[in-house]
Structure 1
Amino acid sequence: MIHLLTHTVQNSAQRTPDQEAFRCANRSISFAHLAKRMNQLANLLLQSGVQRGDRVGVFLNRSLETAIAIYGIMQAGAAYVPLDSSAPAPRTRFLLQDCGIKHLVTNPSQRRGLQQILSEKTNLRSVIGLKGEWPVESISWEEVEQMKSHAPPVRILENDLAYLMYTSGSTGAPKGIMHTHRSGLAYAKLSAGLYGLTPDDRIGNHAPLYFDISTFGYFSAPLAGATTVIVPDAHTKMPASLTQLMEKERLSIWYSVPLALVQMLQRGLLEKRDLTSLRWVLYGGEPFPSKHLRKLMQQWPQARFSNVYGPAEVNQCTFYHFPKPPEEGEAPPLGQVWDNTEMLVLDEKNEEVASGQTGELLIRTATMMRGYWNNPKLTQNSLFKKETVPGMEEAFYRTGDLVKIGDDGLLYFLGRKDRQIKTRGYRVELDEVANALLSHEAIAEAAVFPVGNKDGGRLIEAAVILKNGMDTDGEALRKYLADRLPSYALPQKIYFRNGFPRGSTGKIDYHQLAQIVSKL
């Protein structure tokens, strides 16, 4: 019986031991070998003092080692915490400290980044995957392979923590989303069923491990016994190289943010590629400009296309399968909630709205998070409790997304309640960027706002007011922010102002400010 995420690999190893589980950069690992390697890593972690419920960091680029790392960590009864290897060292040190990471899995390609992290004191006790002169114990991958390959005797329950993903937080500090084996496996089962995954499928995994849509390739594919092709970092930056890889690997399912697909359409030389193996294209993370989506659907007529929606807190909760290419300018719906899921659309008084009326989308589902790490107040504020039967309350997650139910019974996205946006598929709290700016000694006030780009996506810009007698410039501020924020959260432009437009209550009028600076 499968009730843990690690069971997906063990089950596929028994059914199809020689089937490729993961591929990356001309390397591959079978399900049988993955099961062996995850047990070896799990036994080493336990030998190193890891206990059930501990958090173990994964500091890796896109590679086969990511699969070994996450399954080995979960097999030890711990929870994996994916870390962005390109993020500023201070941010990574904060995450290590915030969730008490004492052990880190990495590889030799991350030597420089690890040096920066360890240049200051951390709570790390060991680094696995990179032998060297470190201020902590270091263990090579070769040493991991010398460990016993039997499954460790650790009792793990489905409600135990499996992984923890950090997203942008409105207070200026990232927030950790806790998922259990139950919620992760529920997602794997629902998505594998919805998109009809089979062992014959070859799934393109474009997302980095710290981005929640990566769970499709890492969880759903092993459950179905399918092969996940991890797209190497270099290919993600070159659309023509990426489509060449897709052709070579004969991918049958693709899942990414719209930006990657738009770049393929514009610079991927699609007319020169044979991608007839594609049977399904999934996108999520942000809206897909209809003019580009229409062209791509016409380019790949044999493939089905689906809009995938769901905050990281619930993995996924709705889907929309396109019956035909959308008209230019048409806003595709979020669609309908999937199985084992219930929704509410509530107004500001927490009362359900009628069809066609705007309200906040709330979700109750088996794929929902356990809560935010070490932040019970934030967890409580994110939930809406509803009594379903006398004496029994059910929790719904407040997505913060404003929606309406159309005449066709489908959900349509209308905007956000708060200051959170999606840019290039990543969730960014604009107030986190503003707080980073305000931490600079020369900044008196900061305003951060979204702007549209030519591809229909959203970028970030900022305006600042300097303190009297202080001076700095845009280049210095961008360098300052680059040490504190991930690259996708950096403002494209920073404007210097003497004042900001404000409403009657004194609050900054971000819409008017964006209009003013757009004319400069």
Structure 2
Amino acid sequence: MRVNLLHEMIDRSADRDPEQEAFRFLGNSLTYQALASLSSRLAGVLMNHGVRRGDRVGIYMNKALETPVAIFGILKAGAAYVPIDPGAPVERVATMLQHCGVRHLITGNDKRTQIQTLLDGKAGLDCVIGLSDSPKGGVQSISWDAIRDAPPVAPAKVIPEDIAYIMYTSGSTGRPKGITHTHSSGLSYARAIADLYAITASDRFGNHSPLHFDISLFDYLCAPLCGATTIIIPEPYTKLPASLSELMETERMTVWFSAPHALTLLLLRGVLDKRDLTTLRWVIFGGEPFPPKYLGALMAQWPHARFSNSYGPAEVNMCTYHHVDEPVIEATETIPIGRAWGIAEALIVDENDHQVVPGAPGELLIRSPTRMRSYWRAPALNAACFYRRNVTDDIEDVFYRTGDIVAEDSVHGMLFLGRKDRQIKIRGFRIELDEVEAVLAEHDSVEEAGSYTARDGTEIEAAVTIHNHSSVAADDLLRHCADRLPPYAIPQAVHIIDAFPRTTSQKIDRRALAAQFDAEETD
């Protein structure tokens, strides 16, 4: 069976080995046969309740064995799945649902309170799937038990260029932006990873990242393509490194992909000397720089495994890699992001879009079949984020502007030097500092806001000036942020100041601002 669509992966794996475990969670499992059947039943229910090709269906649930059923059921219904951060403030969730036009939402009983709040706030939902009893408000509600009893149906007719999923990330205007991917881009990503890391049906993936984090695509797309098994790691385990390492040992994981922060916690507090993790053959990391001192120590701890740095914004899934085959000794060494993989082309350009000479810094542009179609309902952003190169009068190459500044190294490929804009990553989460400022500026008492990274880029702080005669405390502003931002984007501190330092063009001098408070802390 030739796979052309993402949901065809699980049906092919079910045909090949129906009893192979597809996903495991808390000791329970779904075989590929069960996953194929349940997702077809869910697809039928969705279609019977009005879902059509091109619709968007939200997934708003904590990690569960039903998560892959939701993904592939939505795809079989011809729709695109929209993963929603289960820990985000309800107001932010409502904004994403409304922006994406989500009318059907898949959830679980542990989100009942938030669902009711969404419905009370007129989120525009027609149907909620996953609650054992109906919420107030008259919205259609279907339980998971009803899904299991529903008849399976044939998948809706879609083609590879149809939308498969939309992932939301921070936006500089204070509003999240949706990254739209097709079946074709997702499948290209899964195939490229399977080839690069030689994935087979005997592999066992550790799904550390939540569904709304793009790293999770590695587990939810690549493993089913190859008929491998994915162990969904419960969220509490991600905060308890010793328990996590025990789970890794018990489940005999062979392939790991996470942000470096998770691996650092495992190294420092995961009692690795007491665990037998010799089944690990690939340890892949990405999303942020990995401190070399920790990477080197982990490589010494797991000499049997190979390590690989994976790079790529969610807009292109992944586009470069660097296998770290030698010990990382020098603490000041930078881990390369490597070279573009075989299906991608990389350009490094200056501020005028001219290709730089080898070794010179510039912005990285990527052309790849894994590239997103566009940002959802963001024409101005789409006009700015693509670089087009004419091949002939009728043909052009389209590159995505990553906004990352890199330099080519003749030995190791590319080195990451920083961001062109003010987008940062902390613990693997992508954050727009401009979004933090926009949220603070929404507060009635705030006149102007500025944000910056502190403590060597590991935390966010902010400062504000307030209107005359206003009375507001820093704690009030932090609560304001907590109601509107995901937990990882909330500043560690908000300083109330009389005036901002300025550049000669009268813009806020954020470097001076950061230096000011760093100096105060060291006094």
* TM bracket (short chain): over 0.9
Is the CA contact 1:36–1:150 (under 8 Å) kept in the aligned structure 2? no
Matching of residue 337 in structure 1 with residue 332 in structure 2:
no
Alignment partner, residue 146 of structure 1: 149
User: 1: CA distance between counterparts of 2:261 and 2:503?
Assistant: 35
Equivalent in 319, 325, 328 of residue 327 of structure 2: 325
User: 1: CA distance between counterparts of 2:475 and 2:495?
Assistant: 11
Deviation at 1:382, TM superposition (A): 0.2
Alignment partner, residue 444 of structure 1: 447
Alignment partner, residue 479 of structure 2: 479
Alignment partner, residue 244 of structure 1: 246
Question: 1:350-409: CA deviations, max 9, x gaps?
Answer: 100001101000000000000000112211210000012342111100000000101326
Is the CA contact 2:423–2:432 (under 8 Å) kept in the aligned structure 1? yes
Question: 1:125-156: CA deviations, max 9, x gaps?
Answer: 0100102233211110011111112324x211
Question: 1:105-129: CA deviations, max 9, x gaps?
Answer: 0111211221222231121001001
Deviation at 1:64, TM superposition (A): 1.1
Percent of matched pairs sharing the same residue: 49
Deviation at 1:300, TM superposition (A): 0.3
User: 1: CA distance between counterparts of 2:300 and 2:37?
Assistant: 44
Equivalent in 227, 230, 236 of residue 228 of structure 1: 230
Give unmatched runs, 5+ long, in structure 2. none
Matching of residue 389 in structure 1 with residue 373 in structure 2:
no
Alignment partner, residue 293 of structure 1: 295
User: SS state of the match for residue 118, structure 1?
Assistant: helix
User: 1: CA distance between counterparts of 2:447 and 2:129?
Assistant: 44
Alignment partner, residue 418 of structure 2: 415
User: 1: CA distance between counterparts of 2:493 and 2:110?
Assistant: 32
Matching of residue 69 in structure 1 with residue 65 in structure 2:
no
User: SS state of the match for residue 3, structure 1?
Assistant: coil
User: 2: CA distance between counterparts of 1:445 and 1:461?
Assistant: 14
Is the CA contact 2:389–2:397 (under 8 Å) kept in the aligned structure 1? yes
User: SS state of the match for residue 127, structure 1?
Assistant: strand
Deviation at 1:340, TM superposition (A): 1.1
Q: In angstroms, what is the RMSD of aligned CA positions?
A: 1.0
Question: 1:263-301: CA deviations, max 9, x gaps?
Answer: 111111111111111111000100000000000000000
Alignment partner, residue 427 of structure 1: 430
Q: Which runs of 4+ in 1 moved over 4 A?
A: none
User: 2: CA distance between counterparts of 1:166 and 1:261?
Assistant: 25
User: 1: CA distance between counterparts of 2:153 and 2:464?
Assistant: 58
Alignment partner, residue 516 of structure 2: 516
Question: 1:459-485: CA deviations, max 9, x gaps?
Answer: 111011111110111111111111100
Alignment partner, residue 59 of structure 2: 58
Is the CA contact 1:62–1:233 (under 8 Å) kept in the aligned structure 2? yes
User: SS state of the match for residue 382, structure 2?
Assistant: helix
**Match for 2:460: what amino acid?**
I
Is the CA contact 1:85–1:113 (under 8 Å) kept in the aligned structure 2? no
Alignment partner, residue 186 of structure 2: 184
| TM-score normalised by the chain length of structure 2 | 0.97
Question: 1:501-520: CA deviations, max 9, x gaps?
Answer: 11110111111110111122
User: 2: CA distance between counterparts of 1:62 and 1:142?
Assistant: 18
Is the CA contact 1:164–1:176 (under 8 Å) kept in the aligned structure 2? yes
User: SS state of the match for residue 243, structure 2?
Assistant: helix
Alignment partner, residue 33 of structure 2: 32
User: SS state of the match for residue 519, structure 1?
Assistant: helix
User: 2: CA distance between counterparts of 1:339 and 1:46?
Assistant: 39
Is the CA contact 2:160–2:183 (under 8 Å) kept in the aligned structure 1? yes
Give unmatched runs, 5+ long, in structure 1. none
